[in-house]
Chain A
């Protein structure tokens, strides 16, 4: 088991590597992107010496691959980094390279807007996203799976057909619109203040996220965003569980259970349902991805101070270090989600050997 987990982690290294290359490529492709921003727009200045200094300082003249290596691994180990240029007096001048530790050591640079480490900004928002994500995954599982089981028991019946229709409808409704409709209904018509946004945002210190208020004091604020983020999952889990149940009940051990004289309820809930849960584990990975990706929209509607919201804000203000940090952290969470779902699959199914 440990070996399997270890191997799975090793396997994800090329993926993470790919994510860094891809996101760096996109960032350098941004017109007037990081270079202009790092130099505060001075890059087109007539003053060539100053420009040369800035270029040297931030390594903008380096080949792309060197810039990438510096971004990933930092440059404090690069002995050749400081160069001399000819200054306006015609003398040689040593330019000290702007030092970075590289993202591999958690240095994503400073936020252009807030003038503090980008990673700090991201990390203080991650708990809020995790809170919402875990809550909605739990709701999706706890609601979706029982619906799937009941639908399978009465397959072809009214409950089955209703849940099937609701599942298709649930997938077709855009979740931001659904969220807006809920806010309109609960927050405006029923006039409930908690429906309109996050408590931590309504109170003064929104910067530190939700750390200051314990979760049990603001459960009602979690209600709507969790439901909006979870209903797609409920739809998918219920359909998936139904299929898996119907597959399971045609196996031999179910016939044996009936032959032993067990009651219907015992056969369905104890024998069939538990075995049908195994394939659900493979579906957990994509569900985690969906929750992280969906956070951008859900958090925007409910002014939830999470990763998705800080990402959208930093993109609007072209705050590239924060953008890069949030993409990498979100991808890391995604990869971890896939690994967890793989491991759970092995835990649930003792037949799998490594």
Chain B
């Protein structure tokens, strides 16, 4: 009898404890139990670490992504070139690491750009509405009616982009999805009682938007951004694959795939490695996005 009461008290205590946690603490708790998401995060961090430390690693391994060695082309993986060499005898592993830097950097910055545009436009149009809202919705419908790849291909063929310009293109064309989400969310938040209360206390529009609406958007933004970065890596590699992305000799995973495609019977390992890296990276990002969505969802019951 006594033990039963104790257990009940303990349970009660735990529930009480749970109740006191903030939303973010609760999300963190859920995330700690989600081994799939943690695994994805771990692999992604490892990949990022490997890619960032490329200069040091390549020096230790005695390889270089620029040195051409025409006496050793299409070499299979061996002890010197861990992933073999490409058509000009350059070390494939080193090129993959440097290519990863560009691929990841492009995806992250382009995503940041499109998120910034999408969030600001979404909040403004969701909050104020009016004619600007109508025009933007028309613009989005129009943009979505042109197959995205077609649009990207035209623009990047016209500008024949450097990595920086390429980021701009991806960023300025990718904001429609997040803008719709933020706009919808802002539209519903705008009518909540606490916003009306804030307005009644004389809060300015800017204060309401930044202090009261924006914090409620963070979870959507974080989830969308994780998935968006993954999608951008795919788009970048697809464009580079068709020859319209970042131009060689600057390596990205996409244009490495595209280059090695021409001789993939001679050296299939050159095709397999970049594709695998793209797949793993994107997979990790999608898993993280899904996991974060579950963890940040306030309706999830512990």
User: Quick one: which of A18, A169, A188, A334 has the most chain B CB within 10 A?
Assistant: A18
A330 and B150 contact, CB distance less than 8 A: yes
B150 and A296 contact, CB distance less than 8 A: yes
| Interfacial chain A residues near B290, Cβ < 8 Å | 168
- Smallest Cβ-Cβ distance to B257: which chain A residue: A177
What are the 5 A-B residue pairs with the smallest beta carbon separation, nearest first?
A18-B142, A177-B275, A293-B147, A172-B283, A172-B282
One of A30, A174, A300, A330 near B146 (C-beta < 8 A): A330
* C-alpha gap A176/B278 in the complex (Å): 12
A174 and B279 contact, CB distance less than 8 A: yes
| Interfacial chain A residues near B287, Cβ < 8 Å | 168
- State which residues 137-170 of B face A: CB under 8 Å: 138-139, 141-151, 153-155, 157-158
| Interfacial chain B residues near A95, Cβ < 8 Å | none
> How many A residues touch the partner, as a band?
35 or more
* C-alpha gap A31/B271 in the complex (Å): 35
A85 at the interface (CB under 8 A from B): no
Instruction: Offer 5 A-B interface pairs, CB within 8 angstroms, sorted by A.
Output: A174-B282, A177-B279, A181-B272, A188-B265, A331-B147
A146 at the interface (CB under 8 A from B): no
| Interfacial chain A residues near B144, Cβ < 8 Å | 289
- Known contacts: A172-B279, A174-B275, A292-B147. The answer to whether A315 contacts B157 by CB under 8 A is yes
- Known contacts: A14-B138, A311-B153. The answer to whether A331 contacts B279 by CB under 8 A is no
Which one of B1-9, B43-51, B107-115, B234-242 is at the interface? Answer: B234-242
A117 at the interface (CB under 8 A from B): no
A293 and B149 contact, CB distance less than 8 A: yes
Q: How far is the CB of A300 from chain B (nearest CB, A)?
A: 6
| Interfacial chain B residues near A331, Cβ < 8 Å | 145-147
- Known contacts: A15-B141, A180-B271, A315-B157. The answer to whether A173 contacts B147 by CB under 8 A is no
Q: Given contacts A33-B158, A177-B237, A335-B145, list 5 more A-B pairs with CB under 8 A.
A: A30-B158, A176-B238, A293-B150, A297-B238, A327-B151
Identify the A interface with B (CB < 8 A).
Answer: 14-16, 18-19, 22-23, 26, 29-31, 33, 168-169, 171-177, 180-181, 184, 188, 289, 292-294, 296-297, 300, 311-312, 315-316, 318, 323, 326-327, 330-331, 334-335, 338
B145 and A174 contact, CB distance less than 8 A: no
For the A-B complex, the count of residue pairs with Cβ-Cβ distances under 8 Å equals 125
How many of B's residues come within 8 Å of A, CB to CB?
43
- Smallest Cβ-Cβ distance to A327: which chain B residue: B150
* C-alpha gap A337/B107 in the complex (Å): 30
- Smallest Cβ-Cβ distance to B241: which chain A residue: A176
| Interfacial chain A residues near B241, Cβ < 8 Å | 174, 176, 297, 300
- State which residues 229-285 of B face A: CB under 8 Å: 230, 234, 237-238, 241-244, 257, 261, 264-265, 268, 271-272, 274-275, 278-279, 282-283, 285
| Interfacial chain A residues near B127, Cβ < 8 Å | none
A19 and B154 contact, CB distance less than 8 A: no
- Known contacts: A289-B147, A312-B153, A315-B157. The answer to whether A168 contacts B286 by CB under 8 A is yes
* C-alpha gap A173/B233 in the complex (Å): 11
One of B146, B155, B157, B234 near A334 (C-beta < 8 A): B146
- Known contacts: A14-B138, A33-B158. The answer to whether A181 contacts B150 by CB under 8 A is no
- Smallest Cβ-Cβ distance to B272: which chain A residue: A181
- Known contacts: A184-B271, A334-B145. The answer to whether A315 contacts B283 by CB under 8 A is no
| Interfacial chain B residues near A338, Cβ < 8 Å | 145
A173 and B146 contact, CB distance less than 8 A: no
A316 and B286 contact, CB distance less than 8 A: no
A18 and B138 contact, CB distance less than 8 A: yes
* C-alpha gap A30/B160 in the complex (Å): 11
Q: How far is the CB of B269 from chain A (nearest CB, A)?
A: 11
| Interfacial chain B residues near A180, Cβ < 8 Å | 257, 261, 264, 271, 275
| Interfacial chain B residues near A312, Cβ < 8 Å | 153, 242
| Interfacial chain B residues near A334, Cβ < 8 Å | 145-147
| Contact indicator per residue, chain B 104-148, by CB within 8 Å of chain A (1) or not (0) | 000000000000000000000000000000000011011111111
One of B139, B141, B158, B279 near A173 (C-beta < 8 A): B279
